[in-house]
Structure formats: C-alpha cells, structure tokens
Amino acid sequence: MAEAERIAIVGLGLIGGSLALALRRALPGLRIIGVDDDPRPREQALEERAVDAATAPEDAPLDVCDLVVLATPAQALLTMLPKVAARMRPGAVLTDVCGAKELICAAGAAQDRVAFVGGHPMAGTEYRGFVAATPALFDGCTVALCPSVGAPVEGAAAKVRALWTSAGAEKILDVDAAVHDRAVTFASHLPYLGAAAVVDALLAAGDVAPLARELAAGGFRDTTRLAGDGTLGGAAALNRFMPQAARALAERLRLFAAQLENDPFVILQRLSELSEERRQMRMPAVTPTSSVPGVPIRRR
Amino acid sequence: MAEAERIAIVGLGLIGGSLALALRRALPGLRIIGVDDDPRPREQALEERAVDAATAPEDAPLDVCDLVVLATPAQALLTMLPKVAARMRPGAVLTDVCGAKELICAAGAAQDRVAFVGGHPMAGTEYRGFVAATPALFDGCTVALCPSVGAPVEGAAAKVRALWTSAGAEKILDVDAAVHDRAVTFASHLPYLGAAAVVDALLAAGDVAPLARELAAGGFRDTTRLAGDGTLGGAAALNRFMPQAARALAERLRLFAAQLENDPFVILQRLSELSEERRQMRMPAVTPTSSVPGVPIRRR
C-alpha cells in the first residue's frame, strides 16, 4: 500500500490498536485515523503516536479515507458495516478483522458503494484493549482474505493484502467465506467453546471446585486460555457451522465416556494416536506477544 | 529426607527422570537407583549422573531402599505396585506419581509390608522420556499427597513430603484419594479429554481439515497442547469420576449449541462471564520447563 494513503481503523482494541502500531512502524508516511467510541483508547493511541488523529465514530472523516478497517467486536461490526460503507467515498475499500466471514461478507455484498474484502488475521491474545496492543502481534501470522464483493474496485484485494503484509503477516490465504467459517470452526471456534465449557465445568464442580482450582496446573491454564478471550464468543455466534460442530464434539465426548467405562483399551489406543497426531502438527511458535499468559507486553 | 538414604525411582521418563535430577541437585549425598525396563533411559540417566546406579526392574535392589517411587504410566503402575511392595524391606515407604489416586491407594492399602503414600505432582510437559526431563520440572509446583496406608510406618508421610520439598515443590496438599480424583477430574482429566476431542474433531473435519490446520494459531495450539501428553489418558482411565464428567461436559456443549441457535444473547452473556472468571483465576506462571511448546529443554 502506498504511504501517501489515508486509512481509518475503527475499533482501537487489541487488534485495531496492534494494526495501527504495526502500520506506523512499517509505513511511517501513512496517515492513520483511529476511531473508537471510548475516549480512553483514543487518548492512548494518540499518546503512543499509533494514530495521527483519533475521533469518535460520528466524527470520523471516513469520506477522505482510501481504506477503512473495521476492528470492533463481531456483532457491532456486522451492525456498523453498512453504515460505515454509506459514509465512505465511492470506490474506496472497506475491510474487517472478524473471525466469522460468511455473514460479514454477505453484508459487504449487500451494498455497492465500496469494495468490501473480508479479512481474518490469525493472531490474538487473551488481553483486551489498546493497552494490550503491540506492533509485533501480526509478525509471521497467517491472514485469511475473502474475495472482494460490493462495488467492483480495481486493486481492492491487492490493497488489503498489502495492508497485512505491511503489518507483518507472513502468509495470505485466499478463501471463500463459507469455507473459511467451516475451517475456523475446527481451528478456533470449537476449541474456544470447548475451553469455555471446561471452565464452566470447574466452576460447577461444587464442593471440590476450590481443590480443583488448587490442583489446576499448566495443563488447565493452557487448555482454557482461549476461554479468557471475551471477543471469540461473538465471532463463534456469527458462525453458522458452530451449533452442529458443538453437537458433534458433545457426541465425541459421550463416546469417550462410554469407552472409558466399557472399552478402556479402545479409548487408550485412540488417545495415544491423538497424542501422536497432536505432536506431529505444525504449530506456530510461542511468542511473548501471541500467547504467553501473564503480564501483557504493554499494559500500563 | 536424610541424605544418607537410598531411594529407587521406577520409571525414568519425564517425571521419574526429572525427580532424579531434582533430588541429585538438592541432596548430593542421596543414593538414587534408577529402574527402567528400557536400557536407553537407564544409560541416559547414568550419563547425566541423575542416578548412582541403573537397573532393569527384575534386578533392582528394592530390598535395600528406604523409599521407592513408582513413576511409570498409570496402568503399569497399578499392576506393579503389589509386586514392588512384596520385594521391599518391611517398614520401608512406597510412593507414586500417578494422576489418579483412588485405585492406586486401594492397591497400596491391600498389602501390609510397607507404608504406601500416594502422591501426585501437578507438573508435566507434553514431552516424554528421560530426554525431556529437567531438574526444574517441579520448581514451585503443588503436590497432592494421600494418607499413608498399608503397613503403619512412623514418619512415612513426612518422608514423602520431604522428597517433594527437596525436589522443588512449593505446596503439599494433603487430600483424600477420592476427593483428589474428583477435583483432578476438573483440573486436569476433563481438560485433557476435551483437548483430545478437539484434536479428533479437526482430524475428522473432512475437506476443510487442511485449511483448518493452516488457520490453527496460538489458540488451537494452547487449547490442545494437553492432548499431546500420551500419559494423561492412562490416569484419566483409572479415574472413576471421568465418564460422568465427560457426559456432563457433552451436555454443556449441547446446551451451548442450542443457545447459539436460539438464544445468542444468553450464551454471549454466559461466555462473557466465563471469560471474566477465567481471567480472574490464579494460574501458575509459564516456565520454559512446564509448558512452552517447542523444543524441549534437554532433548538431544
């Protein structure tokens, strides 16, 4: 993306704030307008020079931007998308960071003022807000991008690709929105819902809950880390493949329960195969910015 | 524990090997006999001076040991417990590291030659074998200890406490075996089974499985890390509270699925509460030895 361009980032939380910081670092000449309805992250982003200007949504000069990035929680993002598009310059490019793409891209396709390119950076931490943002959040990450919809704008997809490459992404995957949602069900939303259910089970453990908390070690910590991410639920709720996947996961657990009682040899064999499969999976490295629980990098 | 004592550690894997290394560091005068049916970890343990002698189980001089620690996988541990006790000096102390305690302690109580003190150190990584062992594995960890059963031996419990304190444990929790198993269901075995089910779901994702693997980021990595620990399944299979807990977790997921379809507001509220609860939980710090996926500390 050209440095002389002007972009707006709507939502200065972990993702939006980190994107502003990463772009500022990579493209010092880019003019970045930060938009948030909360004055605190606006002040913080200005103070850190992550943005050149910061405004409330109603004051945002969206009509002078070449590119607008929606980085708010999922439900709010879906609601604001048409309103933001309607305020933009015709022929400009709108994109987003939501973890569910089908409904969002359908909203993007329902207008013809701007090009909408749905995006999903595969990065995050369980911390929230601009205070948790870091310019390194997207270093080496994968970003899924959906085909451009809405107004046909030449170079729209390339512009969004360049945005993420500048922010540090290593790999851009072009995906159909529905295929994305089915895949992300297994990569993210189902692991998240399972983690939340495990936390819920511990809280409901009655008289042994305090001891269970005392005995919780690194295994519980890592298994449930994702449950601490309050934003994932919103994306999972916009993913139409989730209810069926959650039921299938429940069925799998019921099968495991029956095997533990009646067929321990069979389940131990399967668990051993699964542990081998898991160990063979290529997983992203642990970096201080992407996943280590503890004090966030830039908390103040 | 007195340095002049002699102990045997049966099973020189991650836990047994780490215990040998930790005790060697803390108590240089303690005589440690390493026992394993595989000659490779015996050689490795000797090479690292983690043990003073290493033998196959049938050659182990168990009768000259004051304390024997069983550190093999769960099912093997349960099977060998009475045989090991029968070869020990009357009045000596036997202990173990198994993650399920009720059945193990019942086996310990079924003999009256030695005192049996069931133990469970809340530490581990997903790596296996002596090559993954480290003297720091138990630093600051919690160890659950069950009441001494079998032969009444004065100071038996104190001896096992001292073992773990010397190895670096920060907190010793005295627990009833059944209460331990109920609590560890929620702290460890259920999170493990949930993680294994999530890995299983991804593998069964059909045509989107390759894309799901590509999209898997830090969230999937951490949520499923525990599924890579092949030893946890054995302990979970010995825990009689697991089948019911797995069914309850399945029920919870079915409820979540129904709410995602019919009551998104209700589930988003609950997920938000759970994320807050999770963030408020006191969790052990991430240390390079206890949980960071990647290259193990001492792999060769």
Q: Which candidate in A78, A143, A241, A278 is best for mutational testing of the B interface (most B CBs within 10 A)?
A: A278
Using alpha carbons, select from A288, A194, A293, A285 the residue that is nearest to residue B284. A293
Cα of B4 to nearest chain A Cα, Å? 32
Contact status of B2 with chain A (Cβ, < 8 Å): no
Query: Residue B242: which residues within 8 A CB-CB, separation 6 or more?
Result: A257, A260, B185, B189, B190, B193, B236
Q: Is the pLDDT of residue B147 over 60?
A: yes
Amino acid type, A60: A
Give the nearest chain B residue to A250 (CA atoms): B250
- pLDDT-derived band at B231 (thresholds 50, 70, 90) equals confident
Q: What Å distances lie between residue A26 and A139, A141, A206, B214, CA to CA? A: 12, 16, 52, 25
What pLDDT is recorded for position B1? 61
Q: What Å distances lie between residue A87 and A103, A105, A137, A140, B268, CA to CA? A: 21, 18, 30, 33, 30
Using alpha carbons, select from B154, B117, B130 the residue that is nearest to residue B38. B130
Contacts of A283 in chain B (CB under 8 A): 216, 220-221, 293
Q: Check A142 against B268: CB less than 8 A apart.
A: no
Mean pLDDT, range B228-255, rounded to an integer: 95
CA angle in degrees (0–180, nearest 5) for B201-B205-B211: 115
Contacts of B293 in chain A (CB under 8 A): 283, 286
Query: Residue A187: which residues within 8 A CB-CB, separation 6 or more?
Result: A122, B202, B212, B213, B215, B216, B217, B220
Domains and CATH numbers, chain B: 6-175 (3.40.50.720), 180-280 (1.10.3660.10)
Q: What is the dihedral of CA A245, A250, A254, A256, to 10 degrees?
A: 70
Q: Is residue B32 within 8 Å of B50, Cβ to Cβ? A: yes
Count, in order, helices (H) and strands (E) of chain B. Answer: 12, 10
Instruction: Tell me the torsion sign for CA atoms B269, A101, B217, B211.
Output: positive
Query: Residue B210: which residues within 8 A CB-CB, separation 6 or more?
Result: none
ipTM value for the complex: 0.89
Give the nearest chain A residue to B279 (CA atoms): A228
Contacts of A276 in chain B (CB under 8 A): 230
Contacts of A257 in chain B (CB under 8 A): 242-244, 246-247, 250
Mind listing the pLDDT tens digit for each residue in B84-119? 999 999 999 999 999 999 999 999 999 999 999 999
Using alpha carbons, select from A87, A88, A155, A83 the residue that is nearest to residue A117. A155
Which range, of A273-277, B12-16, B20-24, B228-232, averages the lowest pLDDT?
B228-232
Q: What is the dihedral of CA A262, A266, A267, A269, to 10 degrees?
A: 160
Q: Is the pLDDT of residue B20 over 70?
A: yes
> What DSSP character marks residue B129?
S
Tokens of A58: 């109603």
What pLDDT is recorded for position B290? 36
Q: Hey, how many other C-beta atoms are within 10 angstroms of the C-beta on A265?
A: 10
Beta bridge partners of B121: B143
Cα of A192 to nearest chain B Cα, Å? 8
Which ranges of chain B would DSSP assign to H, the alpha helix?
Answer: 14-26, 39-47, 74-87, 102-109, 156-166, 177-184, 190-203, 209-215, 218-224, 232-237, 242-262, 264-280
Local mean pLDDT, 10-residue blocks, chain A (300 residues): 82 97 96 98 97 97 97 96 98 97 98 98 86 95 97 97 97 97 96 96 94 90 89 94 98 97 94 92 63 36
Cα of A177 to nearest chain B Cα, Å? 12
Tokens of A125: 């931490």
| Mean per-residue pLDDT of chain A | 92
Amino acid type, B144: A
Q: Is residue B73 within 8 Å of B14, Cβ to Cβ? A: no
Contacts of B256 in chain A (CB under 8 A): 193, 196-197, 246
Q: Is residue B140 within 8 Å of B74, Cβ to Cβ? A: no
Query: Residue A4: which residues within 8 A CB-CB, separation 6 or more?
Result: A29, A30
pLDDT: is A199 or B288 the higher one?
A199
The string of DSSP letters for A56-71 reads -GGG--GGG-SEEEE-
Cα of A104 to nearest chain B Cα, Å? 17
Q: Hey, how many other C-beta atoms are within 10 angstroms of the C-beta on A2?
A: 10
What pLDDT is recorded for position B208? 95
Mean pLDDT, range B33-50, rounded to an integer: 97
In whole angstroms, give the CA distance from residue A146 to residue A54. 28
In whole angstroms, give the CA distance from residue B87 to residue B66. 12
Per-position b or e across A140-174, b if 16+ CB within 10 A of its CB: ebbbbbbebbbbebeebbebbbbbbbbbbbeebbe
- Sheet strands side by side (includes B93-96): B53-55, B31-35, B6-10, B67-70, B93-96, B115-117, B149-150
Contacts of B170 in chain A (CB under 8 A): none
Beta bridge partners of A6: A31
